[in-house]
Amino acid sequence: MIPIIYKAMRYAPEHKDETKTRVLKEAAAALRQHGPAGVSVADIMRRAGLTHGGFYAHFATKDDLVGQAVTEMFDQGKRRFARMTAALPPAQAISAYIDAYVSQDHRDHPERGCPITSLAGDLSRAGGAVRNAFDAGVASMVARFAAWLPAPEETRARRAAALVAQMAGTVALARAVHDAAAAANILEAGRAAARHQAGLQ
Amino acid sequence: MIPIIYKAMRYAPEHKDETKTRVLKEAAAALRQHGPAGVSVADIMRRAGLTHGGFYAHFATKDDLVGQAVTEMFDQGKRRFARMTAALPPAQAISAYIDAYVSQDHRDHPERGCPITSLAGDLSRAGGAVRNAFDAGVASMVARFAAWLPAPEETRARRAAALVAQMAGTVALARAVHDAAAAANILEAGRAAARHQAGLQ
DNA sequence: TGTACATCAGTGAACGCGCGTTCACTGATGTAC
DNA sequence: TGTACATCAGTGAACGCGCGTTCACTGATGTAC
């Protein structure tokens, strides 16, 4: 028999996990808004209401945090997609998601947007776990789209890749231009092209 | 009469300009490959065969260099486009450019590629002269495409924006995935979509 | 119920390092005479 | 032709700063008795 040893625990076991989740969500927002090089460990901890010293109780290195934050970003997108497509038939679901993705709101709020549009450059240059997390996120997003596309199985994956490239490229381009009217035109053009590729309208 | 004062000049007046151009070209390559945060002033000067102290004889700040390097990057693309389209009718010219842009070679060599695919994230976050240089480069690239597109004048600008988004997004996406075969599929799918949007095939 | 204790999430001072930037200096060169 | 000189592109040591990371410590809490 293994004796059960009761240790003096100050906090509920979920307490630390909750803190880590909070740090991760703040990191996911800050990294998309300012880029990995534009956010310090101290910045992120401050946003989570903590001091920088506690960071290493949750993460091995800053890179470790970035990797986990990237996974969190793609998970947010996955949840959003699931929420939007829950009650709709495929065509309407894709239509709604494209319109939400290729939108002024997404252009103006990278901090809660798709990591491909805001971090593709930075993360393609990264190595190790960060790069792997990004790679996996991109692959799973393309696969998710493929499953909903009205196309024969052999061409689905390719059409999904082209569609994701169109959507992410459009939002990235709209962010590049200052002028609000020019950005709106880019978004409208890219949205129309994406809808066409998805077999809508 | 203003007397002409002959100053003792050690070097030909072009000498300093040549050095600056060399630094600018090295910077344009290094920035696309490693990102603004991944390259130091000393790195760039070393690549140009110089030491870091001389940097400030040519540029006011690192940001000043980045802004000028961004303009140089877009100029390289412009020259490349002009070279490729010089002897060809519009449809063939666009066809050739799309194939060169959405290619394995472009995916594998950001250092001599389009700054939109490698730096859109970083530069959209930038401010001041850097941001303006990027903004202007994007606008002029889209306008250049519009002029060659087989479409009525009212829709040209929009179709060009969607096309550039498709092309840049595809290369960015292909860089995100590790797997060579998966990247090749993304490039092929994106290239087909871009060609279709340009009214080819 | 009250007191002593063990735990460990979080604190904050300190570290070494690389960065952007400054500046006194060097030395190759063309000009003046 | 030869010598003294002025120039200024480029050198390299030094600076202050913010970063990622470490670590001795704190203090709120639940447990033991």
Tens of pLDDT, residue by residue over B140-166, are 999 999 999 988 999 999 999 999 999
Alpha-carbon Rg of chain A, whole angstroms?
Answer: 20
Contacts of A139 in chain B (CB under 8 A): 177, 182
Q: What is the mean pLDDT of chain A?
A: 93
Interior CA angle at A63 toward A119 and A68, to 5°? 70
Task: Provide the pLDDT for residue A53.
Answer: 96
B11 CA to D8 C1' in angstroms comes to 9
d(CA A81, CA A160): 15
| A195, amino acid identity | R
- Residue from A107, A121, A78 nearest A181 by CA: A107
Contacts of A158 in chain B (CB under 8 A): 185, 188-189, 192
| pLDDT digit string, tens, across residues A99-145 | 999 999 999 999 999 999 999 999 999 999 999 999 999 999 999 99
Task: Provide the pLDDT for residue A201.
Answer: 80
Q: Is A38 left (phi over 0), alpha (psi -120 to 50) or beta?
A: alpha
Residue among A36, A161, A192 minimizing CB distance to B186: A161
Place of tokens 């842009």: B101
Residue B34: CB partners within 8 Å, gap ≥ 6? A125
Chain B: residue whose CA lies nearest to A109: B125
Task: Provide the pLDDT for residue B6.
Answer: 43
**B57 CB burial (10 A radius; 0-12, 13-18, 19+):** exposed
B43 CA to C23 C1' in angstroms comes to 21
Task: Provide the pLDDT for residue A8.
Answer: 53
Contacts of A193 in chain B (CB under 8 A): 162-163, 165-166, 197
End-to-end CA distance of chain A: 68
| pLDDT digit string, tens, across residues A46-98 | 999 999 999 999 999 999 999 999 999 999 999 999 999 899 998 999 999 99
Element (DSSP H or E) covering residue A168: helix A153-176
Task: Provide the pLDDT for residue A9.
Answer: 57
Residue among A131, A132, A189 minimizing CB distance to B158: A189
Task: Provide the pLDDT for residue A10.
Answer: 64
Q: pLDDT means per 10 residues in chain B (201 residues)?
A: 45 83 98 98 97 97 98 98 92 96 98 98 97 98 94 94 98 97 98 97 80
- The answer to whether A135 contacts B161, with C-beta atoms less than 8 Å apart, is no
Residue A96: CB partners within 8 Å, gap ≥ 6? A84, A85, A88
Output DSSP code: residue B37: G
State how far residue B166 is from chain A, nearest Cα, in angstroms: 4
